[in-house]
Amino acid sequence: MLIYLRVLKESFFFAWSALRNNKLRTFLSLLGVTIGIFSIIAVLAAVDSLEREVKGSLSALDNSTIMIMKFSFGPSDIPQWKRQQFPHASYDEYQYLMRSLPDVAAGTFAQGVPQASLKYQDITSSGISVVAVTNGYYDIEQFDIAEGRFYSEAESASGAPVVVLGYEIAQNLFGNSNPLGKQVRMYGHRVTVIGVLEKQGSGLMGNSRDGQVMVPVNFTRRIFGDNNQNIFGQIILKPEEGTDDDEFVAMAEQQLRSYRGLKPGEVNTFFVNRIQGFADFIDTITGQLNLIGLIISGFSLLVGGFGIANIMFVSVKERTNLIGIQKSLGAKNKFILSQFLFEAIILSVIGGLIGLFLVWIVSLIASQFTGDFEFVLSPLNILIGTAVSAIIGLISGIIPAISASKLDPVEAIRTGM
């Protein structure tokens, strides 16, 4: 064991000597490994960060939650032209399901409405996302209210002109003054501020609640109606804990088919989307992105491997005389083989570490320009980068190491003179 530690130490010094004495040649040879590792780990880090951001936005919803609408989260066997003819989920269907569907822990009806402008005195905030939902939404998605309250069931049912502001909207309109009880104009109507959401921070996906407002869905239904094709509705249901998810989905489908009068054999005119299914879909997409990134980066690593092999062949030639002396003094072939293999691995790992360092620098810079979205270089990605660079060094150095170990000592000494 000690002899191999000594070989490793000597190999490190030989590799360091190659870097120091032939800076340009070694730099150009290691450039391929550096670029390859940078590309692979940058892709992995970016995809991991994106996946964390998307799943983080879904974490507020229970995985068993379902969304009933005319759109599907994933691919569908139903032609697009036929899907476009499906009716939107309605408020009446939501009420029917809440009455007839067993094991419902919480439910809400949401309406996708246009962005709005909010005006208070002479201050206007434009392009605001409006979340129009029933009060049951508070029991489905996790969010905190910093000031005031969420609207009640009575306010939700009557469509009371009340609004809960996102943190950023409240700051824009009211600054440090108390917004509760103040009236703002929205969609041409006066609405009363009853609450302000806790500051969430921005994300890359642009889905932060800081720039949103929440109003009772019956308030927007009075303004836009139920037959507006540009306004889509969705029913969100959360089953009670311990309920079989498949059975719950099947029961929801059966109840809604019955309400819509669909005959046996007719396809559903709606989709029941599962949050868990969407998370699985995200996993599939990120897996494909990782694969594409690995394939593209593999070409850089191939070039880097040739560079390491080139360094090692030159190193063998430069140290032919030394190899002959070592073998004449009793050094075995596996000793020579290990020496050059270690050197190739060390050189490749140095190139890989440079690539990892560049990824870390880029991630820090990128995080500064993307708000609260954070590019993270995880320990797993660092381990992957180091392992891949070591493997590249092992593969690239094996042939030069074998050629060095098979040199005849007499010929090697004579050639080196």
Q: Which two tokens stand for residue 187?
A: 């969609």
Is residue 160 a contact partner of residue 219, using CB atoms and an 8 Å limit? Answer: yes
Q: Which two tokens stand for residue 235?
A: 């029913």
For 318, the enclosing helix (H) or strand (E) is helix 275-318
Specify the pLDDT at position 2: 67
Specify the pLDDT at position 8: 64
Is residue 159 a contact partner of residue 243, using CB atoms and an 8 Å limit? Answer: no
Is residue 324 a contact partner of residue 416, using CB atoms and an 8 Å limit? Answer: yes
pLDDT along the chain (417 residues), means of 10: 65 64 71 80 76 60 79 77 86 93 90 90 90 91 87 93 93 90 93 91 62 93 83 90 87 92 89 72 70 72 78 76 71 72 81 85 74 68 83 84 74 61
Q: Which two tokens stand for residue 67?
A: 């969304």
Residues 6+ positions from 280 with CB-CB distance below 8 Å = none
Write phi, then psi, for 192 (nearest 5 degrees). Answer: -100, 130
Residues 6+ positions from 33 with CB-CB distance below 8 Å = 301, 304, 305, 307, 308, 348, 351, 352, 355, 389, 392
**Residue at 5: amino acid letter:** L
